[in-house]
Structures are given as C-alpha cells and as structure tokens.
Amino acid sequence: MKHAFNIVRKELDKIFRNPRLIFSTFILPGLLIFVIYSLLGTTLKTQVQKANEHISIIKVINCPESFLAARDLYLSLQENDESYLKLNAEIDEFDLSQKDESTELKDYAARLVEEGQIDALIEFEDDFDDKIETFLEAFLNKEQATAPKITIYTDTTINNSSVALSKINVLLGLMNSTKMAEIGNPQSIYSNETVELASEEETSGQMIGMLLPMLITIFVFAGGMSVGADAIAGEKERGTISTLLMAPISKSYIVVGKIISTIIITVLSSLGSFIGVIASFPNAKELFGEVGMISFGFVQYLQIFTVILLIALISTSFFLIASTIAKSTKEATMYATPVYMIAMVTSYIPIFTDKLPKEIGSYLIPIYNLILGIKGILLSDLKTLHFVAIVGSTLVYAILLLSLVRVLFKSEKLMFQK
C-alpha cells in the first residue's frame, strides 16, 4: 500500500506544484459554472418576467358577453386568491374596418401579430351566446345540434402570441365550465379551432432552429478541440516543433497550414456527428420532438456550410492560441475549455429567444453571430446584410486571432520552454 501512496503523492504533486494547473483544474471549472448558470438564470428570469409583465393584446371579433363574463370571473378569482397568475390582458373588439377587402383575415392577423400590434385574434360566430343557448336547449331535449364555433389565430413561434393563446384557453375553459355547470354535463359547448399563423417552415424551423445551432456548435467545437490543441502543443511535446521551425518557410505558412488542416479534420469530424443525429431523427422523436422536414434551396445549404466553416475557423483560431501557449496537448485542452464552454452556453441562447434580433450589432458578436446565423437560415429569415456582417466580422476576428498566433510563434519562451 505504501507504494500505492507513493504514486498518489507523485500524481497529486504534479497538480499541486503547478499554480496554472491548480487554477485550471480546481478554480476555473467552478468559476465557469457559476458564471454560466448565473447568466443562463438571469436570461431565463428576464424572459419569464418579460412574458409575465407583457400585457397581451387580444382582439376579438363578435365578442360575446359570456367571454367578457369569463374574464371578469377570472379577475375576481385572482383578486381573492393570489395563487392565480395575473391575467395581464387587454381584450377589445377587433377593428375590421382597417382590413382590406381583398386581404384574408388570416394573413391580416399574421401581419399584425408579426408586427406586435396584437398578440392573438379570436373570432366568435355571430350571436354566439344565443347559439349556445340554442345548443344547450337542444342538448337538454336530446336533439341533434351543432356547437357554435370559435377560431383563434396565433403564431406560436412568437413568445407573446403563444402566451396570449394560453390565456385565451384559460378563459375559454372557464367559460365552458360555467355553462357546463348550468346543465350538469361535461361536454364542450363550442367547437374550437386554433389557426397557426406561422408558416410550416417557421414552425418546423423553430424546433430545429433551437436544436441545430446547439448541435452544430457542440459538434464543431468538440470535433476541433483535440486536433487544435495538438496542432502546436503536440509538436512541442514530441520535440518536432524545432524540426518544423528549421524549415526555410515563413511562420505564417506554418500557421496557415495548421489552421487549414485542423478545419478540414474538424468539419469532417462534425459531419460524422451530423449524419448520426439526422439518422437518429426517426427513432428519437421523444428526444427531439417532431422535427418537420424543411426543404432547403441551394443558397441555404451554401449558407449553412459557410457558417459551419466559419465556426470551424473561429474555434480553430482559439484552439491554436491555446496550443501555442501550452507546453503539452493536455495543457492546451485545459486552456481551450473555457472557450468551448462559452460557445456551449452561447449556443443555448436561441432556445430562450424567439425572433432574430433586428439591429446589426448582434451579428458582430463573435460566436453568437454564427449561432444567430444558423437559426436565421433555418427560419428562412436571415437578411443578406446580416449574413454579410456575420461572414465579414468572423473573418476579421479569425485574422486577428491568427495574427496573435503568429506573434506568439516568435516567442522563444513559448516555443522552446520545457
């Protein structure tokens, strides 16, 4: 046992006698988790707060008294019991006079929801309350009758609209149960249809739009990390870097050679992961939800491929810096981990946000801009200017990072340290 402890002591000394390793092994992970969870928590809290505080603008066509009564009932219930969530909804008659005769109601509603002028639209049949009475009478007389119809227009890819829909459903449920209590029958007194205002591409893109940026980022970063970390630190560790530095070639060529080879391996490795994920879609519905098929055009495929290349470029640039600073591949991997974790967290952001930001600034933030790019392409919603901003800014960042690698290459201490 004495010998085992001798080994234990040597292994522990390896870490505890190296301040850099103490920091990266014990302090950094905790620090990162603290920062990441705090950031995620704050983002989520702001999102929830924003959704709760937002006063839903619900417009109604042929608003029946019973619906308003349901709203008032809810408000009085909420007043007496604080466990009820605030309704925070403005329910008004919809002004149809602004609508063009030629425009379909659905398209018109879609535009208003998209612009944020309204959050949802409900259309009740004419004389809805009277029709309910007739329906109830027929029911009591055991005669056949059709329940009056309600149509709800919402866009579930927009947070505010989807929150408004749940509020409407609560009120309709309340309205139904009040009436049901009158006749003592658990049957629905109306037929209800929810019309999705978002296009099929948008709704199926919504799911993939949340999922894919995360998967792509993880695959590309994970695929490139070991190769990138090894690119220079590995040569130092194996003592082959001096052989390479003796070659009569500019150090820029060495950096460019390393980056191109790392990108190729990264892209190929992430491609393998992708094929795995796509192949698993039919068997993994519980995991990913129903993923709709999106038909992409050539330009979209080209854009996606460009963004993947850019992610590989930027991740490789970061990894090469870590690899140049480190003495060994293991050390390089440790230095690269924070960048990997930041990328992972950033890739989760699209899950908490619905639409793409409009201002160009967001498309200039490194890594985040690429994740927005993938989401935008999947939602068929990415503006050309934004795509150009993503490509341009990422290239500039990569050039800056790689110039730094070149400067680091000149450091005798970094290249020949033991």
Partner 1 sequence: MDATIKVTNLRKTFRQSAKQMKINHSKDKIKVAVDGISFETFPGEIFGLLGPNGAGKTTTLRCVATLIRPDSGDIKVKGIDISDDLAVKKTIAFLTNEIRLEDQMTPNYAFDYYARFHEMPQELIRERRKELFDYFGINDFSEVKIGDLSTGMKQKVSIVVSLAHDPDVIIFDEPTNGLDILTAKSVTDYLKELALKGKTVVISTHIMGLVEKLCDRVGIIINGKMVMCDTVKNVRAISPTNDLEDVFFDIYQKGGLAE
Residues lying near partner 1 in the complex (CB under 8 A): 238-240, 242-243, 245-250, 412-413, 416
CB closer to partner 1, 190 vs 409 = 409
CB closer to partner 1, 323 vs 346 = 323
CB closer to partner 1, 37 vs 416 = 416
CB closer to partner 1, 95 vs 412 = 412
Rounded least distance, CB 235 to partner 1, Å: 8
Rounded least distance, CB 17 to partner 1, Å: 10
The CA-atom distances, in angstroms, between 234 and each of 14, 267, 322, 415 are 19, 20, 12, 12
Radius of gyration from C-alpha coordinates of the chain = 29
Q: Are strands 149-154 and 120-124 parallel, antiparallel or unpaired?
A: antiparallel
Query: Packing angle between helix 200-238 and helix 251-280, nearest 10 degrees?
Result: 140
| Ramachandran bin of 365, using left for φ above 0, alpha for ψ from -120 to 50, beta for the remaining angles | beta
Helix (H) or strand (E) holding 286: helix 285-288
CB closer to partner 1, 10 vs 410 = 410
Residue 344 in 3-state DSSP? helix
Rounded least distance, CB 370 to partner 1, Å: 33
CB closer to partner 1, 239 vs 297 = 239
Residue 140 in 3-state DSSP? helix
Instruction: Yes or no: say if 307 and 372 are a contact pair by the CB < 8 Å rule.
Output: no
Rounded least distance, CB 241 to partner 1, Å: 9
Owner of token pair 């004389």? 127
CB closer to partner 1, 249 vs 264 = 249
Strand order through the sheet with 191-196 = 89-93, 56-61, 120-124, 149-154, 191-196
- Among candidate residues 314, 303, 328, 302, the one with its CA nearest the CA of residue 266: 314
- Among candidate residues 309, 352, 307, the one with its CA nearest the CA of residue 210: 352
Rounded least distance, CB 418 to partner 1, Å: 10
Rounded least distance, CB 272 to partner 1, Å: 21
Rounded least distance, CB 410 to partner 1, Å: 9
